[in-house]
Amino acid sequence: MKVKERVIRESIDKIKAEIAEIDAILDASPLTEIINIRMEAQKFLNENVGIKARMSNEFDKKISELAKREKQQFELAEKQKDSLRLITRKSKIDFELGQLRSELYNMGVIYETKTYK
């Protein structure tokens, strides 16, 4: 494999990874997940009535885990607020991906065209 070909293939892999990351952000539904997490937390609270049950290590771990998951979903929702920028970025790197594949083709290298996901 020539150096130019290797560099192009590495660039293609990086672009595919970035496209997959952008797609994951755009396709996610964090608000639905937040509602599900809160319903799970409420159910857990209803099952563990009383001060003894709520002071246990198990209870603390479960609530901490749910809070962490909820925080991650809020961060994802924040990223989705700028979806126009994400879509613009995706279209630019998708164009770059096409150019890189064309460059491989022009070099006489056949590149398998698989989807990004």
* Mean pLDDT, all residues of the chain: 88
CA torsion, ordered 41, 47, 51, 55, to nearest 10 deg: -60
pLDDT value of residue 116: 45
Q: Is the pLDDT of residue 27 over 70?
A: yes
Indicate if the pLDDT at residue 65 is higher than 60.
yes
pLDDT of residue 111: 59
Percent of the chain with pLDDT over 90: 59
The answer to whether residues 20 and 101 touch, using CB atoms and an 8 Å cutoff, is: no
Other CB atoms within 10 A of residue 8 CB: 19
When pLDDT is averaged across residues 27-50 and rounded to a whole number, the result is 90
Per the CB < 8 A criterion, the answer to whether 110 and 74 are in contact is no
Torsion of CA 76, 78, 80, 85, to 10 degrees: -130
Percent of the chain with pLDDT over 70: 91
Cα dihedral 114, 17, 73, 64 sign: positive
> Higher-confidence residue: 71 or 106?
71
Q: Which pLDDT score is estimated for 117? A: 47
Distance CA(14)–CA(16), nearest Å, equals 5
Residue 45 has pLDDT above 90, yes or no: no
